[in-house]
Amino acid sequence: MKPFTSAVFLAAAAVALVGAAGADGEISFEYHRYEELRKALVSVWLQCPTISRIYTIGESFEGRELLVLEMSDNPGTHEPGEPEFKYIANMHGNEAVGRELLIYLAQYLCNQYQQGNETIIDLVHNTRIHFMPSMNPDGFEKAASQPGEIKDWFVGRNNAQEVDLNRNFPNLDRIIYINEREGGANNHLLQNMKKAVDENTELAPETKAVIHWIMDIPFVLSANLHGGDVVANYPYDETRTGSTHEYSSSPDDVTFKSLARSYSMYNPVMSDPNRPPCRKNDDDSSFKDGITNGGAWYSVPGGMQDFNYLSSNCFEITLELSCDKFPSEDMLKTYWEQNRNSLVNYIEQVHRGVKGFVRDLQGNAISNASISVEGIDHDITTAKDGDYWRLLAPGNYKVGASAPGYLTVIKKVAVPYSPATRVDFELESLMERKEEEREELMDWWKMMSETLNF
């Protein structure tokens, strides 16, 4: 993955944009074409330079940058112990609402931070937040170029190569289902496979860029924003048997349901039990409380949601935000009002479960240590500083930390809804234990020798 580029690369355009968002940072509810998107992100950076930066993770097939706006009290740096969160939108280019909501959300957080909103200040100071408004800028430009307000249901959905990006990720569901039956790894199924990703000609450039992004940053929680329905969808997306509709639970089914509800419960349309289907013949029988299991709704192979969970530590859900994929511009404010509280509340969920550090007895960080939870067959791993975050629903758990060459440590933990419970681990090296046992044996032999006059 090429090095991240800071906001400096847009500085030349910034001077002309000082007043772009208005003196008070007022949100402008309108669609943003590619150049307008760049300007909107720069505007946020100019307004809140101490808590934001802009970087790119790569380019689309047609050469448009895949831009990310980061918000943190220390932008550009992973702070040990601070969780990483991401929102990613517009992977289907004609599903435009999420793209705009992320621009509005960035503007909103900047405004609220400057106005002294303690909830937002705390969120920014204790979370590293990443927004990618468009994973498929080529598709969006194609969809937005259609004349008139009513857009075709499919034009611009795929990237410029006509690849559906949400069917283009390595199909790790097939691997995990085999491992469930025959034994095998339950996490990080693409470990040490970066070269294979780069050489895979079936993967679109947008997909490759996002895969490297997921594997390079220790994301904890994520959501990808879509359109065409109104529901929060959680893993697994692909069914175990190949059936079109089949509830396909992950090991973290309870936690994923709770995460999905944390979004739907604050969205009055999504959580409305009497909401009619978006279209007359739609099958939304799997929807309950505004959430659905992906496989129960319809099977999706090669999706980004399951890839996150099975290739990294990141828990991701899919948010369908609007019946219309590309609604008229005058509806954007309404969608923002419906989703604003949900978008903020979902970020806050990154501070749930257990968190802490894994170190050796000398206080040195142990990276890539495994964190396991009894009864949940899905482990996560520590980041380079030995820090970890393990999302969990409220309950009592036995949490273990292990690493090659060290003795495993298991602790009992009572987990509330929030905030995350701090659980640190100190692991003893097997070499240290063997040396200790050798010294104990020598002391015993010396004592016996003296006692028996050997």
Q: What confidence tens digit (pLDDT) does each residue in 361-384 have?
A: 999 999 999 999 999 999 999 999
Name the token pair of 372: 């396991």
Catalytic pick among 320, 432, 435, 440: 320
The predicted pLDDT at position 152 comes to 78
Q: Mean pLDDT for the chain?
A: 91
Q: What is the DSSP string of 61-110?
A: TTS-EEEEEEE-SSTT---TT--EEEEEE-SSTT--HHHHHHHHHHHHHH
Query: What pTM did the predictor assign?
Result: 0.91
Name the token pair of 4: 């991240």
Percent of the chain with pLDDT over 70: 89
The predicted pLDDT at position 318 comes to 98
Going by C-alpha positions, the residue among 57, 33, 55, 40 that lies closest to residue 110 is: 40
Average pLDDT over residues 142-157: 85
The predicted pLDDT at position 17 comes to 45
Measured CA to CA in angstroms, residue 116 lies from 112, 119, 124, 270 at distances of 6, 9, 12, 30
The predicted pLDDT at position 190 comes to 85
The answer to whether residue 320 is catalytic is: yes
Strands 425-427 and 354-360: parallel
Measured CA to CA in angstroms, residue 170 lies from 84, 166, 193, 253, 341 at distances of 23, 10, 11, 22, 33
Per-residue burial over 242-281, b = 16 or more CB atoms within 10 Å of its CB, e = otherwise = eeeebbbbbbbbebbbbbbbbbbbbbebbbeeebeebeee
Higher pLDDT, 11 or 395: 395
CA pair distance 12, 122, nearest whole angstrom: 32
Give pLDDT tens digits for 239-287: 999 999 999 999 999 999 999 999 999 999 999 999 999 998 888 889 9
The predicted pLDDT at position 96 comes to 96
Residue 434 pLDDT exceeds 80: no
Residues paired with residue 128 on neighbouring β-strands, in sequence order: 84
Q: Which residues lie below 8 Å from residue 179, measured CB to CB, with a gap of 6+?
A: 185, 186
Measured CA to CA in angstroms, residue 416 lies from 220, 234, 248, 346, 408 at distances of 18, 22, 27, 17, 25
The 10 Å Cβ neighbour count of residue 33 is 13
Amino acid at 331: M
The predicted pLDDT at position 148 comes to 75
CA pair distance 122, 59, nearest whole angstrom: 33
Burial of 64 per CB tally in 10 Å (0-12, 13-18, 19+): buried
By the 8 A CB rule, do 270 and 264 touch? yes
By the 8 A CB rule, do 373 and 350 touch? no
Return the half-sphere exposure (C-beta side, CA atoms, 13 A cut-off) of residue 381. Answer: 21
Strands 219-226 and 84-89: parallel
Q: What are phi and psi of 156, to 5 degrees?
A: 90, -5
List strands edge to edge, sheet with 409-415. 376-381, 370-373, 395-402, 409-415
